[in-house]
Amino acid sequence: MFVHPDEDTRTDGGFRGERAMLVGYLRDQRLTLELKCAGLGAQDLAKRSVEPSDLSLLGLVRHLAGVEQYWFRHVMAGQDIRRHYRSAQEPAGEFTGAVGEPAVVADAWATWRAEVAFAEQLVERTSDLGATGAGGEEPTELREVLVHMIEEYARHNGHADFLRERIDGRVGQ
């Protein structure tokens, strides 16, 4: 196991009501990402899966920071943003720029945590899960964004399972 059950800060469901369920499962998925990366140094976080893929745990952290930014800052809050780690010249920059340098790792975690904090505050301030965002190409309800984020993390946490197992043999949970 990754952690002893007494030390696992994630819940095991039991949420009551739509908001508590969506927020709770998203929180647990975010915690799972942190758990999959815990205890690794910069070089291990930047290790690629297999050639020719550029997938790494660090790349996933950077990617998910960008996903948080897009859906909560741009789509829901209507902010005109410059995307983290990617550009027209480097559309996969969140992965290709995920190099094993401590400063790059620190920046990725700080950026991800800042985007998660923004998202949590936005959700807390928005009383109606049916509220639509001020940005994006078409109106999107907050509940749809939350479901999408749970799906996004769940998919990438599956990738993180395999990446972590390749790095040090730790599996699942």
Residues of the domain holding 51 = 5-168
pLDDT for 4 equals: 65
Q: How many domains does the chain have?
A: 1
pLDDT per residue over 35-77, tens digit each? 999 999 999 999 998 888 999 999 999 999 999 999 999 999 9
In a domain, 173, yes or no: no
Residue 134 to residue 132: CA distance in whole angstroms: 7
| pLDDT exceeds cutoff 90 at 173 | no
| pLDDT exceeds cutoff 60 at 139 | yes
In a domain, 79, yes or no: yes
Which CATH number belongs to the domain containing residue 143 in this structure?
1.20.120.450
In a domain, 29, yes or no: yes
> Quick one: what percent of the chain has pLDDT higher than 70?
95
In a domain, 25, yes or no: yes
Of the candidates 19, 26, 18, the one whose C-alpha atom is nearest the C-alpha of residue 10 is 26
Q: How confident is the model at residue 129 (pLDDT cuts 50, 70, 90)?
A: very high
